[in-house]
Amino acid sequence: EPPREVMDWNGWLGPAMWRPFNSKYYSRGFWSSHGDFSGGSICEWGSHTVDICQWANNTDDTSPVEYEVINPKGDVAARYANGVKLVIRKGLRFGSCPVRFEGEEGWVETGDSGRVEVHPASLMSERRFRGGYPQHNHVREFLNCVKTRKQPASTADIAHHSITACHVANICVRLGRPVKWDPAKEEFINDAEADRLRSRAYRYPWRL
């Protein structure tokens, strides 16, 4: 398939491995299913939700230390140093980015649709909203922060730690076995095979 005249195909590929032009790669959303360009659904949806989970767990400055694939779909269970378990699911329920919090008395789940589910139903009577960071336009928030020099609700460091959890989960899925992660050193523990997957070769002339 010949590239469109207005398409800088080499620039679009960036450091990824060279391949012939294919319009399907750059179609909306389709590129995200290819490992050369994306971290797949775990990184795509996890980038929207894992930071919320870490916020609730008071672990904005770190990430889980153990990861394990828990079913054939590729869902991953990750454990924090404080014992809290994070389950990164590939399947969707309502909305595109649902988050469920489970405790001793039940669970509550909500997504970007605004819908809330709880179990048992009696938990709904305990519903409380205490401050928070309501955001209806992330682009507007970012531009406001550029102007005011204030930090956004999710800072660069917070985003870094949450997406790190997604990348480590992907490596766990790719290897098909449990892995242990050192969030301070940002490397796997006694696992050279997993460490090799932390980065990939860049196509010339791109470098980092």
Beta bridge partners of 79: 66, 85
Q: Which of 61, 50, 60 is nearest to 168 (CA)?
A: 50
Tens of pLDDT along the chain (208 residues)?
Answer: 666 777 888 999 999 999 988 888 877 667 887 888 888 889 988 888 899 899 999 999 999 999 999 999 899 999 999 999 999 987 665 556 788 999 998 998 887 667 788 899 888 887 665 655 666 688 999 999 999 999 998 899 999 999 999 999 999 999 999 999 999 999 999 999 999 999 989 999 998 8
Q: Nearest 5°: CA angle at 155, between 150 and 156?
A: 120
Q: What is the pLDDT of residue 150?
A: 94
3-state secondary structure of 72: coil
Amino acid at 66: E
Spacing of C-alpha 90 from chain mean position: 11
Please report the pLDDT score of residue 188 as a whole number. Answer: 99
pLDDT of res. 94: 53
Q: In angstroms, how far is CA 32 from the centroid of its own chain?
A: 13
pTM here? Answer: 0.86
CB 59 within 8 A of CB 82: yes
75: exposed, middle or buried (Cβ count in 10 Å: 0-12, 13-18, 19+): middle
125 token code pair: 């009577």
